[in-house]
Amino acid sequence: MIKLLALDMDGTLLDSHKKIPQAHIEAIHQAIAQGVKLVLCTGRPLVGVKPYYKELGLSKQNEYVIVDNGCAIHQSEGWKLLDYTALSKEDLVYLDQIAQKTPAQLTIFDEERYLVLGEDPNDLVSYDAGLVFTQPVKISLEEAIEGSEIMFQAMFLAQPDQLDRFEADFHQDLSQRFSAVRSQDYIYETMPKGTTKASALARLAEKLAIKPEEIMAIGDANNDLEMLEFAGLGIAMGNASDYVKSQADAVTTSNDQAGVARAIEKYILKQDA
């Protein structure tokens, strides 16, 4: 029996226009009404989740969100930070050294801000910050390592061809020190070693006394792979890559074809039918 629904956002909950289909909203409410816990699991920072959470109409329920690709777990009631992993000062210095060798811009999420390390944000970074309802803020390395803010995940952003070269040059080294993944064609993400959506989901599930086999996870991208594997039922979206689909237990329709609603109807709502 499914007791927890772990749900990616971009490419999954959201359609290709970054909107939540009404069918998804209705199916999620039906699942929650049957006692299923909802956990949004996203690479977005918290600021990029709150407006969508409000749109879901779940203000009276105390659900959970995993943000920054597993770096932080919040409960929706008051958005309290329950658990987190953070980049160290040494990590930030190392990432800055990499950034000096590449045209990719280095960005970092703290609890409230979308930060750009050492440079004025370019158009691509400003565009990406806009997708999460904020504006990038320039910060020096000294400010980053000497401040009191928690520094969660870091991202390198560049045009796809530039990021191809970045990945070829630096992935081997970065993956040894960090949990590193290219989540989109223009974003390469680095989290503290061992930190993924799955690692955060495992900690939360233990807190909620929910077993992995009682979890259904839905996602579409490379940064969802560990989560799909961890869950008892891992479902790939129809718009996922062939590789992501091959690693899932099942495949639903695309994010423009109400794939989340279809999966909830098939695997959650039917269990009490």
What is the residue-level pLDDT of the chain in tens, covering all 273 positions?
A: 999 999 999 999 999 999 999 999 999 999 999 999 999 999 999 999 999 999 999 866 778 999 999 999 999 988 999 999 999 999 999 999 999 999 999 999 999 999 999 999 999 999 999 999 999 999 999 999 998 999 999 999 999 999 999 999 999 999 999 999 999 999 999 999 999 999 999 999 999 999 999 999 999 999 999 999 999 999 999 999 999 999 999 999 999 999 999 999 999 998 544
Please, which residues bridge with residue 65 across strands? 40, 74
**Cα distance between residue 134 and residue 44, in whole Å:** 11
Per annotation, catalytic residue among 8, 68, 110, 220: 8
8 is catalytic: yes
pTM of the model: 0.94
The predicted structure's pLDDT at residue 272: 47
Query: Which CATH class name applies to 89-192?
Result: alpha beta
Cα-based distances in Å from 47 to 135, 153, 167, 179, 272 = 11, 14, 28, 22, 35
What backbone torsions phi and psi does residue 236 show, to the nearest 5 degrees? Answer: -95, 145
**Cα distance between residue 199 and residue 6, in whole Å:** 13
Q: Where in the chain is the domain with CATH 3.30.1240.10?
A: 89-192
The predicted structure's pLDDT at residue 62: 76
Q: Where in the chain is the domain with CATH 3.40.50.1000?
A: 4-84+195-272
**Cα distance between residue 258 and residue 81, in whole Å:** 31
Question: What is the DSSP-derived secondary structure letter of residue 30?
Answer: H
4-84+195-272 falls under which CATH superfamily? Answer: HAD superfamily/HAD-like (3.40.50.1000)
The predicted structure's pLDDT at residue 208: 96
Name the pairing type of β-strands 154-157 and 105-109. antiparallel
CA atoms within 13 A on the CB side of 144: 32
**Cα distance between residue 192 and residue 162, in whole Å:** 24
Q: Name the amino acid, one letter, at 213.
A: E
